[in-house]
Amino acid sequence: MTGFLKGSATAMITPFTETGVDLDAFGEMIDYQIENGTDALVVLGTTGEPATMTEEEKELTIGYAIKRAAGRVKVIVGAGGNCTERAVSACRRAEALGADGVLCVTPYYNKCTQRGLFEYYKDLSDAIGIPLIAYNVPGRTGVNLLPETMAQIAELENTAGIKEASGNMAQVMETARLIRGKCELYSGEDALNLPILAAGGTAVISVVSNLAPAGVKALVSAALEGDLARANALADDLLPLAKACFCEVNPIPVKEGMNLLGFRAGLPRKPLTRLEEAHRALLAQAMRAYGLEVRS
């Protein structure tokens, strides 16, 4: 299927207190995104730390995000996993709670075959009636969703697209060629947003847009409108900030960045740790250079 997602989507952080999810703080972040032009919110993706959350916390967070967004933007829920049965349940829960779509990472750690990847996505697709986005991030999962396999997944009725974060532009280009007209290509790597859009991508799913939603939206809009000169200028401005946001493993830096903006982002959950002080200074400098108001 085509036409599900166009523009900028933000891979939302999840703000935690010592006792659970800070829903009030999360609501302020959702409003910040919508007020600055973001087209969709991705809740409980990798950046949202779902691996450290209880099932009760996940359901609460999904339901709150959908209620707070109130139809103003799409809400896409991270629902993949390394157990197909549990991933099916997560997809069904997202659909029942009113999600517009699901983002399903490839099974991690198991290192299944390409046939196993297709069967995994087929099982998820068969279980729900809402759009499904495949998510390829081999640096985290240990498995690479190859273009030929994605071409098969693209034939499934409710496959909306693929979030590509392999970092391999040759692979991205081949995937784009094989799925064109069947489903869509989305950038899942902030440093490659512009080239992926230029290759026919229709949207980005961005970490940096937690901090700079208006800037990421402007970049996407310029690229989709074919104004590559403006898109390049906007990308040039964003790249140092993107680099700073990955000076440690995501979401450690971006979570601290939200704290620096004055949001109550809290700390990452263990085993992730707070951003090292030297990196915090680097991040604050990059944020100021981009024009963001650093409050602490």
Q: Annotated active-site positions, please?
A: 135, 163
- Read off φ and ψ for residue 266, nearest 5 degrees: 70, -160
Which of helix, strand or coil describes residue 248? coil
Q: What is the tally of helices (H) and strands (E) in the chain?
A: 12, 8
Rounded CA-CA distance 40/267 in Å is: 24
- CB 209, CB 33: distance < 8 Å: yes
Which residue from 268, 277, 273, 255 is spatially nearest to 211, judged by alpha carbons?
255
| Residue 264 to residue 26: CA distance in whole angstroms | 8
The residue type of 243 is K
Q: Say if residue 187 is exposed, middle or buried (CB neighbours under 10 Å; 0-12, 13-18, 19+).
A: buried
Angle between helices 228-244 and 277-290 (to 10 degrees): 160
- Which of 90, 84, 103 is CA-nearest to residue 43? 103
State the chain's maximal CA–CA distance in angstroms: 50
